[in-house]
Amino acid sequence: MTVPIPVIPGYTFRFARREDLPSVHQMLIRVAEADRTGYVDTLEDMTNEFIDAYSDPEKDSLLALTAEGHVAAMGRVYVNPAPQRERNANLWGVVHPEQRGRGLGEAILTWMEARARQRLLEFPTDLPSALRASSPDYLTERITLIERHGFSPIRYWYSMRRDLSQPIPDEYLPSGLTLCTYRPELDQALWEAFNESSSDHWNFEPISYEDWQKYPIQSASFRPELSFLALDGEGSRAQISGFSVNFVREEDNQRQGIAEGKIGELGTRRAWRKRGIASALVCASMRLFKAAGLDYAGLTVDADSPTGALSLYERLGFTVIKRLIIFSKPVDLDSELPASAPA
C-alpha cells in the first residue's frame, strides 16, 4: 500500500533524486542560517550518502517543489535494516525559511509518520517500536508541531565548545599505552572498537563495516592526521584501547566565521576504562587542533550518558552552546498489522 502524497495548492510533491541534491544543499544552508544550527553536510557527502541502506530515496524521501521548481521542503525516513534492540524510525524533515507557515511542515511530518510505520512493519514483531524526531530546544514552532503529533521528549544532546586559547590540561595516556594518529591498516580494528565501546550507549545499534567506511572514514570532513588511536602493545599484537575520530567542517567554519575542530567519535573499550584514556585523547586532540591553527574544539554529547562524558568534558573546559531535544513516539505496530501490511 502506497502512502498518499500530500496535496497543497502551489506545490508538487515527489521522491528526491540525485540531481536534486545541489538545490537541496542550498536549501539546507538557508535553514542552517535561519535556525542557527551551524551544521550542513557538504554536497560531496550528500551525494556519496544519497543511496543509504537505512533509507531508499525512491521510497523513503519526499520533496516539495514550488510552482517554479524550487525546493521548498524535504523529509526522509531512516530505519536500521538489521535492528537488534528496537525497531526505530528516525524522521528528518526541513522546510525552507521562506516557505514556512503554509502547511508544508505538517504535510511532510504526516507523510513521514505513515511511511515510517510501513517500514517498521518489515521487522520482527518482538522488538519494541518507536518513531523519533528532533529539534533544537529554541525552535518553538518546530517543537509544537512535533508534540502535536504525539511525540514526547526522551533525551537531550548537547553541542559543546572549548576555547583553545585557554590552557590545555596536562593529561596523558597511562603507562604502557601509546598514542598514534589514524592508520588505515587499523581501520577494521577501529570499527570493531567503535561498535564495542558504543554498545552500552543509549539507542546504539552496531553499524556495518560498509557504513563505517561511508561515515566517518570517507566523509569529506574526516581528518585522519588529527585523529588518534590509543594502543596497548606493540606491532601486530597491539590492541586499540581508545580512539578519537576527528573532523574539520571547513564549509561550516567559513559560514560561521570560526576555526573549529570536531571531536566526532570518542570511545574507550570496556577493559581499559577508568584509566583516564578518554581525557588524554581529548587533550591530545585539542593540542593538535591548536597546532593546526584551529581556535576551538567542539563535540556533541548525550546529556545522560552513563559513561559520565558530560562531566568529563565540563572538567576539561567545554561549555554547552546548543541543546537538541530527541522526541519519541511509541507505536504498537502489532495491532496495526492487518490494516497496514503492504499489499
Q: Are residues 40 and 133 both part of a single domain? A: yes
Spatial separation of the C-alpha atoms in residues 32 and 34, rounded to whole Å? 6
How many residues are given for the chain? 343
Same domain (yes/no): 145, 224: no
107: left (phi over 0), alpha (psi -120 to 50) or beta: alpha
Split at pLDDT 50, 70, 90, the class of 85 is confident
Cβ contact 163:321 at 8 Å: no
CA nearest 27: which of 51, 49, 43? 43
* Same structural domain, 147 and 17: yes
Judge whether 123 lies within some domain. yes
Could you give the number of structural domains in the chain? 2
193 and 270 Cβ atoms separated by less than 8 Å: no
Containing 25, the helix (H) or strand (E) segment is: helix 21-35
Does residue 343 register a pLDDT over 50?
Answer: no
How far is it, in rounded angstroms, from Cα 189 to Cα 197? 12
Rounded to the nearest angstrom, the gap between the alpha carbon of residue 315 and the centroid of all alpha carbons in its chain is: 25
Q: Are residues 22 and 150 in the same domain?
A: yes
Task: State the CB neighbour count (10 A cutoff) for residue 280.
Answer: 23
pLDDT class for 319, splitting at 50, 70, 90? very high
CA 190 to chain centre: 19
Same domain (yes/no): 186, 311: yes
Confirm whether 336 is domain-assigned.
Answer: yes
Q: Is 213 helix (H, G, I), strand (E, B) or coil?
A: helix
Residue 339 has phi, psi (to 5 degrees) of -85, -25
pLDDT level of residue 336 (50, 70, 90 thresholds): low
pLDDT in tens, 224-235: 999 999 999 987
Number of H helices, E strands in the chain: 11, 12
pLDDT number for residue 285: 98
DSSP 179-209: EEE--GGGHHHHHHHHHHHHTTSTT-----H
Q: Assess whether pLDDT exceeds 70 at residue 337.
A: no
The per-residue pLDDT for 335 is 62
Q: Lowest mean pLDDT: which of 109-118, 247-256, 326-335?
A: 326-335
Residue 2 domain-assigned (yes or no): no
What is the spatial distance between Cα 311 and Cα 309, in angstroms, rounded to a whole number?
6
Residue ranges making up the domain that contains 71 = 11-156+326-340
Q: 308 in helix, strand or coil? A: coil
Question: How far is the C-alpha of 234 from the C-alpha of 74, rounded, in Å?
Answer: 50
Residues 200 and 287 in one domain: yes
Residue 175 sits in the same domain as residue 304: yes
Answer yes or no: do 137 and 79 share one domain.
Answer: yes
For residue 342, pLDDT over 50 is answered with no
Residue 3 lies in a domain: no
Determine which helix (DSSP H) or strand (DSSP E) holds 32, and give its type and residue range.
helix 21-35
Same-domain check for residues 241 and 129: no
Query: Running DSSP on this structure, what letter comes out for residue 2?
Result: P
Across 231-243, average pLDDT: 92
Same domain, 239 and 292: yes
Cell numbers at residue 181, please?
594518529
Whole-angstrom Cα distance, residue 215 to residue 42?
13
User: Can you tell me the distance from the alpha carbon of 133 to that of 89, in angstroms, rounded to the nearest whole number?
Assistant: 9
Scanning the chain, the segments in alpha helix (DSSP H) are 21-35, 43-48, 57-60, 104-120, 140-148, 187-198, 209-212, 250-256, 277-291, 309-315, 333-340
Shared domain for 182 and 127, answered yes or no, is: no
What 3-state class would DSSP assign to 49?
coil
Structural domain includes residue 184: yes
**Which H or E element spans position 284?**
helix 277-291
Shared domain for 179 and 141, answered yes or no, is no
Q: Band the pLDDT of 123: cuts 50, 70, 90.
A: confident
CATH code: domain of residue 145:
3.40.630.30
How far apart are the C-alpha atoms of 149 and 145, rounded to whole Å?
7
pLDDT 10s digits, 7-49: 999 999 999 999 999 999 999 999 999 999 989 999 999 999 9
Average pLDDT over residues 97-110: 98
Over residues 44-75, the pLDDT tens digits come to: 999 999 999 999 999 999 999 999 999 999 99
